[in-house]
Amino acid sequence: MRFAAPEFFKWLLLALPLMVLLVVLHRQRKRKLACLISSNVWKTVIPGFSTKSARRRTVLRVLALLCVGLALTRPQWGFKWEEVRHRGLDILVVLDTSKSMLATDIRPNRLKQAQWAVRDFIRQLKGDRIGLVAFAGSSFLQCPATIDYAAFTMMLDDIYAGIIPRGGTAIAQALETAADSFEKGSEADKVIILITDGEDHEGDPEKMAEKLKSEKIRLYSIGVGTPQGELIPAEGGGYIKDSQGRVVKSTINETLLEQLARETGGFYVRSAPGDFGLDRIYKLGISNLQRDEQDTRLAKVYEERFSWFVAAALILLFSEALIAGKAK
């Protein structure tokens, strides 16, 4: 036997103090009645009265309550094999890990907010495969597309600013890495979610967008940061400076991100405190896309037996009603 909702067992523990309370109340009631009327004349003064009957009714009620509690735990035994088919999209998150993502215009910093938002995002996925590409001046596939969301989350948590030694922000190369990582032959819509501040330092992102469109890969982009920009913290204190000794301020490049998304049929979202943008992308874009049947496998489906306990509770209550005409 197994229980599909074992969290309800804690409510069954309430039956123990309830039983003790009922025993105490019965004894108090019997003592108070004995103070008013001698037990020798109970049958004469109170025809049909029986303390045994009252106890039986209480026991039946408590047992009925226990049966209802057990039904809520969803007891299961016996099983059958059923064919389960998984359908899902192929999604690749392309995450900027350059030093500019350490800017704190979004607290605690842009990269940490992005990681938290992606963790929340995967809770909405139902069979969709998701992978991760990290990029800065170069890019690599951190996690291939998978339905193992726990493994994906571990890979996501391992990301940090500077994980890629080569500095800069090469968006075009990152998109190419993502496009090459999709499984060939899948009929599901392919999705890239680009999360960056949009400061591209090399390559030709516009040309790469044309390639994504030709391969029917939809791009959604999220701009992390503010138009006003923010200074980039340096290791050991202070802020990062350019070759001329001037403090570098990182600003979001919304024009580029908007153009890339629009070219492929997606759309652009600017992140904001409390609303990173992934929820909007899922509800307004991803949730409406075509899902492909990815695999078929046999699954063990257990037989629900809670109805037996519900029936037992009804029988107990019916039995209690049969003696309801007797004095309590």
* Greatest distance between any 2 Cα atoms in the chain: 110
**Are 98 and 170 members of one domain?**
yes
**Are 161 and 243 members of one domain?**
yes
**Are 130 and 199 members of one domain?**
yes
In this structure, are residues 227 and 270 in contact, taking their beta carbons and an 8 Å threshold? no
Question: Would 47 be classed as within a structural domain?
Answer: yes
Query: In Å, how far are 41, 156, 182, 207, 288 from 135, measured between CA atoms?
Result: 92, 13, 17, 18, 28
The number of domains in the chain is: 2
327 pLDDT more than 50? no
Q: What is the pLDDT of residue 41?
A: 63
135 pLDDT more than 70? yes
**Are 177 and 272 members of one domain?**
yes
50 pLDDT more than 70? no
**Are 260 and 129 members of one domain?**
yes
**Are 139 and 245 members of one domain?**
yes
**Are 121 and 19 members of one domain?**
no
Question: Would 230 be classed as within a structural domain?
Answer: yes
Question: Would 327 be classed as within a structural domain?
Answer: no
In this structure, are residues 240 and 232 in contact, taking their beta carbons and an 8 Å threshold? yes
CA–CA dist 154, 166 (Å, integer): 23
**Are 175 and 151 members of one domain?**
yes
**Are 33 and 68 members of one domain?**
yes
Question: Would 295 be classed as within a structural domain?
Answer: no
Mean pLDDT of 173-178: 95
Question: Would 296 be classed as within a structural domain?
Answer: no
**Are 227 and 276 members of one domain?**
yes
Backbone φ, ψ for residue 151 (5° rounding): -65, -40
Condensed to tens digits (0 to 9), the pLDDT of residues 80-91 reads: 776 555 567 899
Q: Of all helices (H) and strands (E), which one includes residue 309?
A: helix 306-322
CA–CA dist 314, 304 (Å, integer): 18
Q: Which two tokens stand for residue 135?
A: 């990029």
Burial 243-260 (b: 16+ CB within 10 A, else e): eeeeeeebbbbbebbbeb
Q: Which two tokens stand for residue 113?
A: 């907010």
Query: In Å, how far are 61, 75, 85, 110, 143 from 8, measured between CA atoms?
Result: 19, 11, 31, 41, 38
218 pLDDT more than 50? yes
Q: Is residue 97 classed as helix, strand or coil in its secondary structure? A: coil
Residue 106 belongs to a domain with what CATH number?
A: 3.40.50.410
Q: What is the pLDDT of residue 278?
A: 95
Q: Of all helices (H) and strands (E), which one includes residue 297?
A: strand 292-304
Question: Would 328 be classed as within a structural domain?
Answer: no
* Listed range (35-39, 108-112, 307-311) with the worst mean pLDDT: 35-39
Q: What is the pLDDT of residue 195?
A: 96
**Are 150 and 191 members of one domain?**
yes
Q: What is the mean pLDDT of the chain?
A: 84
Q: What is the pLDDT of residue 78?
A: 84
**Are 25 and 132 members of one domain?**
no
Q: Which two tokens stand for residue 78?
A: 């016996």
Domain region containing 32: 2-79+301-322
